[in-house]
Amino acid sequence: MRSLEKTQGDAWVVTKGRRKDVPFVGRATSGVWKSTLSEACIAQIEKVWGPLMSSLGYELVNAEFGNAVAPDVSLSKRLYKVQF
């Protein structure tokens, strides 16, 4: 992703006109959020999105949130058509 950003960044809507010395693509390391976010923040995210995260194959910090009722993502699908 970083190499694509360097070669195509000027064509991307989210990176067009941005500073070249501050990359849009961060560390891009799997699981960094588990050590970066607070336990309370992780619990909030997993409480709401845990079932979806589990269904997509993500390992949860709080396994009990993976068994909850999945959130209604229909509004998100309408707002963010490109991602779904």
Judgement on whether residues 25 and 37 belong to the same structural domain of the protein: no
Judgement on whether residues 45 and 84 belong to the same structural domain of the protein: yes
Within its chain, how far is the Cα of 8 from the centroid?
22
Distance CA 33, CA 15 (A): 23
- Overall domain count for the chain: 2
> Is the separation of the CB atoms in 60 and 66 below 8 Å?
yes
Judgement on whether residues 5 and 44 belong to the same structural domain of the protein: no
Judgement on whether residues 17 and 7 belong to the same structural domain of the protein: yes
Owning domain of residue 7: 1-30
Task: Determine the straight-line distance between the first and last CA of the chain, rounded to whole angstroms.
Answer: 20
pLDDT number for residue 18: 78
Judgement on whether residues 26 and 3 belong to the same structural domain of the protein: yes
pTM: 0.49
Judgement on whether residues 53 and 77 belong to the same structural domain of the protein: yes
Judgement on whether residues 21 and 57 belong to the same structural domain of the protein: no
Per-residue pLDDT of the chain (84 residues; tens, 9 = 90+): 778 777 887 787 777 787 777 777 766 677 788 888 999 999 898 888 888 888 888 888 887 777 655 556 666 666 666 554
Q: Given phi > 0 = left and psi -120 to 50 = alpha, else beta, which region is 59?
A: beta
